[in-house]
């Protein structure tokens, strides 16, 4: 039996693949997926999942699904067109994935579907756990609808877990790809007042969280995929400076960043103090619970 992964060619997906036996990756481009994942052609399904359904015969041996698809929120300015893609590449793709699975003869037992801590919106110093309500901004509404898109699987008896992923820190991708260079040059600094909370997770812990949810048959519903120790942006900045041995005197005003990169700047300044309550209650153990050790590992090479 196999695990089917949408978005398996992405940064997180590629880190997950080596931990799975016979994974099947769904991609819009099979040739590029083969190159990026190193998987043989028979473990790749080429499909424009945003506009078409997956071929049923390829789903008969699928026991679990990991849904990691979605256009990057960090790359490119948030034009009306980009915002449409951000939304559709998560919701429409998830709806099509769900319909494809429901059309098959055998349903998977489990589905772990990505969402994000953006679910909660801008929340100042509030401590947020899974039972807290969604925010009302653009990303909150995407996350809410993204999670709702899997409801037909829940209704059909599939065990569905929503992974509300925080800022993923790791080598070679995610937030560090943009943040590391200025910090390495000594041009890194806090964003605005630096008081906003950052809910982060080390990529190795995130991969273990996905595996944990696949294997724990009692886990269901939302799970905050964040470290147990969110930090203020100023603490994160200081920890980056220490890890790299570089000064962090600079600071970036919100208005300047908004002019430079547009609406995405609001996301960078949003404060979310999220705790991984459900993972802790389920007995998950973190390899990188503290920002200092997480950053030290990431910048080590």
Ligand X SMILES: NC(=O)c1ccc[n+]([C@@H]2O[C@H](COP(=O)([O-])OP(=O)(O)OC[C@H]3O[C@@H](n4cnc5c(N)ncnc54)[C@H](OP(=O)(O)O)[C@@H]3O)[C@@H](O)[C@H]2O)c1
CB atoms within 10 A of CB 127: 12
Does 2 help bind ligand X (rule: CB under 6 A)?
no
Does 230 help bind ligand X (rule: CB under 6 A)?
no
Interacting residue with ligand X among 27, 94, 233, 277 (CB under 6 A): 27
Does 121 help bind ligand X (rule: CB under 6 A)?
no
Does 135 help bind ligand X (rule: CB under 6 A)?
no
> Minimum Å distance from CB 137 to ligand X?
15
Tell me the three-class secondary structure of the chain, residue by residue: CEEEEECCCCHHHHHHHHHCCCCEEEECCHHHHHHHHCCCHHHEEECCCCCCCCCHHHHCCEEEEEECCCCCCCCCCCCHHHHHHHHHHHHHHHHHHHHHHHHCCCCCCEEEEEEEHHHHCCCCCCEECCCCCCCCCHHHHHHHHHHHCCHHHHHCCCEEEEEEECEEECCCCHHHHHHHHHHHCCCCEEECCCCCEECEEEHHHHHHHHHHHHHCCCCCEEEEECCCCCEEHHHHHHHHHHHHCCCCCEEECHHHHHHHHCCHHHHHHCCCEECCHHHHHCCCCCCCCCHHHHHHHHHCC
Q: Given phi > 0 = left and psi -120 to 50 = alpha, else beta, which region is 121?
A: left
> Minimum Å distance from CB 10 to ligand X?
2
> Minimum Å distance from CB 206 to ligand X?
8
Stretch that binds ligand X, among 25-33, 123-131, 180-188, 237-245 (CB under 6 A): 25-33
Stretch that binds ligand X, among 24-32, 131-139, 252-260, 286-294 (CB under 6 A): 24-32
Does 192 help bind ligand X (rule: CB under 6 A)?
no
Interacting residue with ligand X among 89, 95, 113, 226 (CB under 6 A): 89
**233-244 vs 291-299: helix crossing angle, rounded to 10:** 40
- 88 or 280: whose CB is closer to ligand X? 88
- 7 or 192: whose CB is closer to ligand X? 7
Interacting residue with ligand X among 121, 135, 174, 241 (CB under 6 A): 174
- 36 or 246: whose CB is closer to ligand X? 36
Stretch that binds ligand X, among 26-34, 52-60, 211-219, 249-257 (CB under 6 A): 26-34
Interacting residue with ligand X among 5, 10, 112, 188 (CB under 6 A): 10
Q: Give, rounded to a whole angstrom, the gap between the first and last alpha carbons of the chain.
A: 37
- Rounded distance, CA 11 to CA 260, Å? 26
Does 7 help bind ligand X (rule: CB under 6 A)?
yes
Interacting residue with ligand X among 17, 24, 50, 82 (CB under 6 A): 50
Residues 153-172 that bind ligand X (CB under 6 A): 165, 167-168
Residues 89/94/95/98 CA torsion (nearest 10 deg): 160
> Minimum Å distance from CB 18 to ligand X?
15
Stretch that binds ligand X, among 9-17, 96-104, 123-131, 180-188 (CB under 6 A): 9-17
- 138 or 186: whose CB is closer to ligand X? 138
Binding stretches for ligand X (CB under 6 A): 7, 9-13, 27-29, 33, 50, 68-72, 85, 89, 93, 114, 116, 165, 167-168, 174-175
């Amino acid at each position: 039996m196999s695990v089917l992964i949408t978005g398996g060619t992405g940064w997180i997906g590629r880190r997950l693949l080596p931990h799975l036996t016979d994974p099947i990756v769904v991609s819009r481009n099979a040739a590029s997926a083969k190159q990026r994942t190193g998987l043989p052609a028979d473990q790749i399904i080429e499909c424009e999942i945003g506009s078409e359904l997956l071929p049923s015969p390829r789903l008969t041996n699928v026991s679990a699904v990991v849904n990691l698809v979605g256009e990057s929120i960090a790359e490119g300015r948030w034009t009306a067109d980009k915002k449409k893609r951000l939304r559709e590449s998560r919701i429409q793709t998830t709806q099509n994935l769900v319909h494809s699975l429901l059309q098959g003869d055998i349903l998977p037992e489990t589905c772990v579907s990505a969402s994000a801590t953006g679910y909660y919106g801008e929340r100042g110093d509030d401590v947020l756990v899974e039972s807290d309500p969604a925010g009302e901004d653009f990303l909150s509404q995407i996350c809410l609808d993204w999670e709702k898109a899997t409801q037909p699987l829940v209704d059909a008896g599939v065990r569905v877990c929503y992974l509300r992923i925080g800022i993923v820190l790791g080598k070679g991708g995610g937030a560090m790809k943009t943040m590391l260079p200025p910090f390495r040059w000594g041009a890194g600094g806090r964003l605005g007042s630096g008081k906003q909370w950052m809910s982060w997770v080390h990529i190795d812990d995130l991969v273990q969280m996905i595996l944990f949810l696949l294997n724990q048959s009692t886990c269901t519903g939302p799970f905050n995929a964040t470290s147990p120790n969110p930090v203020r942006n100023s603490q994160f900045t200081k920890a980056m400076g220490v890890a790299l041995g570089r000064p962090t005197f600079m600071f970036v005003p919100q208005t300047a960043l908004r002019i430079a990169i547009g609406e995405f700047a609001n996301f960078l300044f949003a404060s979310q103090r999220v705790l991984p309550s459900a993972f802790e209650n389920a007995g998950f153990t973190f390899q990188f619970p503290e920002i200092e050790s997480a950053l030290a590992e990431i910048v080590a090479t």
